[in-house]
Structure 1
Amino acid sequence: MAGQSARPATEADKDARYRAPALDKGLDILELLSTQAGGLTRAEIVKAMGRGPSEVYRMLERLVARDYVARSREGDRYTLSMKLFVLAHRHPPVRRLVQCALPLMDAFAQQAGQSCHLVVADRDAATVVAHASSPGNWEYGIRIGSRIELLTTGSGQMLLAFQDENARAETLARWAGTRESEAYARLEPVLTGYRAAGYRIGESQQIRGVDDITVPILSPDGHAIAVLTCAYIQRLDDRQIDIRQALTLLREIAEKLSLS
């Protein structure tokens, strides 16, 4: 009606305005297959997505043609190809960081007799982008590409502790009114302590008997661009450096990478 002020656009309005159904279908298929190590048949994909067979078939054919999805030799099962992995590792900042970090991480693993991994922030989670194995027969490790939570892991908490102000504000805005917001409020004094200390040593929140050592890799303005974590395992049948010596070595690596 003339003279009536326009209603502010809501998030739902924006979602409806910018919908791309075909793209959504393709992304849904990729996300579904990413959870299935053995792949799925077309009928299983149709059932899981709740879509019509013909629209799923057309999208699968395009994903196969573009090499995002691989079809089994028998033609009845679909799995993710390595293309997404390759594309992710072309991301220049992460690739450069991994290239610089890996030789130092390997040297740490040899000297400390412990594994370590490199983690970067990934919106409301974090992703493992590199791993160095200990030289011995026994180790605790985490797969490259694993997504881990920010609030309940040593690596995630260190990323939060050294988050820049804008990223922190965006994270809290997305978490507003959720359990994550409440958990962050309870955790904030702990994060302040990590910032003051410049590291975290503490029991793993996932595996009993493992102590995590985590240090930040900092940008010139003092914010975390990544973190290094050593899942320290106390061996009973071999001599090894103690956890404080491992922390010193890990901090030296982080300092070198922070200056790179």
Structure 2
Amino acid sequence: MKQKQNSAYTAPALEKGLDILELLSERDTGLTQSEIARALGRSVGEIFRMLMVLQDRGYVSQDPLSDRYSLTTFIFEVAHRIPIVGRMTAIAGPAMRELSGKINQSAHLAILSEGAVLVVGQTTSPGNNVLSVRLGARIDLWRASSGRVILAFQPEKEVKRLMKDVPVPPGTSASQILDELSAIRAAGIEVRDSFVVKGVVNISAPIIDHSGLAIGALTVPHIERFDETITFEKCKAEVIVTAVRLSKSLGGQLPEIN
């Protein structure tokens, strides 16, 4: 859960509800009422009232067999009502499915959210061997090609602000990150080994809006198959074509790709 910051304003009931939502978002199998109370340091009575309201509003559901509470997809639907996210994902969905069909690779669409990378769109390869990133996943800002590509097309002052909020990884300096972002901006795309999976090469291109800034990134975590007939260069070219298409639909223009 996000660390609470000191504030001149408090709303205890609202904070309890948000604490529950954030806690459940981290637990794949859900939690019982007593487990939620224990994790949050609250009484069972407090948690019961909050859970009843959240359940009535459709944000959580209770498994009748295990009595565990889990988040529903409603919270994801609410997030997609944000105009820019909703518009981008609506446009990107068909384009990404077409892309995955052409290159036999999975693809995902990501945005920046609260100092992290949030996956808001995802398509899987039509083949038997699939590597994909979970829809709704939050990824370390500095260890994701999507985040780096988006930041490469942001004002430097915004990048430096994020560096204060989200420290760069150990062994990496701020100047090194800035140099790498500059190189990505010059190339117009990032092609690099995955930060987390050996043998995977990320192909990531920015989605540019009318302001000339990146509002998202389209990324293909490319896997190489022994019997693959589609070349890596073909995959890269198709990612660029799709990113250009999405940018134009939002009134933006991708820079020239080197």
Q: Taking structure 1 as the reference length, what is the TM-score of the superposition?
A: 0.87
Distance in 1 between residues matched to 2:54 and 2:232, nearest whole Å: 48
The 5-angstrom pairing of residues 25-174 of structure 1 reads: 25-74=16-65, 76-165=67-156, 167-174=158-165
> What is the distance in 2 between the residues matched to 1:21 and 1:185?
42
| Range 122-131 or range 181-190, more displaced | 181-190
Is 1:233 the counterpart of 2:223? The answer is yes
Mapped to 2, the partners of 1:160 and 1:110 lie a distance apart of 28
Unaligned runs of 5+ in 2: 250-258
Between the aligned partners of 1:185 and 1:212, the Cα distance in structure 2 is 23
Structure-1 residue corresponding to 2:182:
192
Compute the displacement of 1:164 (Å).
3.1
AA paired with 2:234?
Q
Whole-Å separation in 1 of the counterparts to 2:157 and 2:175: 17
Where structure 1 has 5 or more consecutive residues not aligned to the other structure, the ranges are 1-11
Q: Look up the SS of the partner of 1:119 in the other structure.
A: strand
Counterpart of 1:212 in structure 2 is 202
Question: For 2:86 and 2:209, how far apart are their aligned partners in 1?
Answer: 16
- Residue 55 (structure 1) shift: 1.4
TM-superposed deviation, 1:74: 4.8
Contact 2:142 2:168 in 1 (8 A): no
Q: Is the 8 A contact 1:150 1:159 kept in 2?
A: no
**What CA distance in whole angstroms lies between the structure 2 residues aligned with 1:237 and 1:246?**
15
- Offset, 1:171: 1.9
Secondary structure of 1:17 counterpart: coil
Q: Determine which of 204, 226, 233 is the counterpart of 1:244.
A: 233
Q: Give the Å deviation of 1:184.
A: 3.5
- Counterparts in 2 of 1:257 and 1:16: CA distance versus 1, 3 Å: closer
Quote the offset at 1:124 in angstroms.
Answer: 0.5
Instruction: Give the percent of matched residue pairs that are identical in Structure 1 and Structure 2.
Output: 37
Q: Secondary structure at the match of 2:207?
A: strand
> Structure 1 CA distance, aligned partners of 2:194 and 2:80?
28
Alignment root-mean-square deviation, CA: 2.1
Three-state SS of the structure 2 residue aligned to 1:238 is coil
Q: Is the 8 A contact 1:162 1:195 kept in 2?
A: yes
Aligned with residue 258 of structure 1, among 235, 247, 250: 247
Give the Cα separation in 1 of the matches to 2:156 and 2:184.
16
For residues 182-229 of structure 1, give each alpha carbon's deviation from its aligned partner in whole angstroms, at most 9, with x where no partner exists: 644331111110000000111001100110001111123321111110
